[in-house]
Amino acid sequence: MIKRAAAVLLLAALGGLTACASTPEADLPEIQEFSFMLGNWSSGRGDVEVRIEFYMKSEHRMAGTTQIFSDDQLAYFEEARIAFNPLDVRLHVVRRDGAPRMLTLAEHGEDFAVFENNRGDGLQRIEYRKATDGALDVTIQGLTEGRPFQRRWEMQRPTFRDRGGPLTIGIK
């Protein structure tokens, strides 16, 4: 009886593996469709500045960082990577405390991408949207201690700050 049950489970598992192997790839976006996110972005509110950077890591992976400065001191840091897998596109976020979050691409278009965490804990949604003026609007949503939160930043390309003196390069 046990051998028969094991054989049935084995056949079911093999059938499941065959079904998985024969499943066609999902209609996923190309990494180039996310190029609107690439580069350095910055947003300031009073004495708080948020900086985001995204860059191409490989033909199937983007990477980036988020830094939050308060009074010119680093207050928060996290790393992110976007992985383009055969069956989905995932955004992996690793916070400074090492707590990982994984969000899956829920929808995308020419100038936007929305990632969602279907587990519903903490960070639940991140939306990146290129504005008509060239800004990158970033909206995050989630739960903190069971209470919903939402934050939005209008990110601009950082500009060079003139410190009042000539620009010199020390090459000899």
* CATH number for 131: 2.40.128.20
Select from 103, 108, 150 the least CA-distant residue to 128. Answer: 108
With respect to residue 134, please indicate whether it lies within any of the assigned structural domains. Answer: yes
The per-residue pLDDT for range 26-48, each reduced to its tens digit, is 567 888 899 999 999 999 888 89
With respect to residue 159, please indicate whether it lies within any of the assigned structural domains. Answer: no
Q: CA distances (Å), 7 to each of 4, 70, 77, in order?
A: 5, 62, 51
With respect to residue 86, please indicate whether it lies within any of the assigned structural domains. Answer: yes
With respect to residue 2, please indicate whether it lies within any of the assigned structural domains. Answer: no
With respect to residue 6, please indicate whether it lies within any of the assigned structural domains. Answer: no
With respect to residue 69, please indicate whether it lies within any of the assigned structural domains. Answer: yes
With respect to residue 109, please indicate whether it lies within any of the assigned structural domains. Answer: yes
Which residue segment(s) compose the domain that 62 sits in? 31-154
With respect to residue 45, please indicate whether it lies within any of the assigned structural domains. Answer: yes
- % the chain with pLDDT above 70: 75
- % the chain with pLDDT above 90: 49
Q: CA distances (Å), 172 to each of 167, 168, 169, in order?
A: 16, 12, 9
Q: Which of 3-7, 103-107, 120-124, 155-159 is modeled with the greatest confidence? A: 103-107
Vertex 130: Cα angle to 37 and 100 (nearest 5): 45
pTM, entire model:
0.74
**Paired tokens of 157:** 């390309």
Residue at token pair 């930043």: 153
* Number of domains within the chain: 1
pLDDT of residue 151 exceeding 80 = yes
The per-residue pLDDT for range 67-105, each reduced to its tens digit, is 999 998 999 999 999 999 888 899 999 887 777 889 999
- Please tell me which residue, 16 or 57, carries the higher pLDDT value: 57
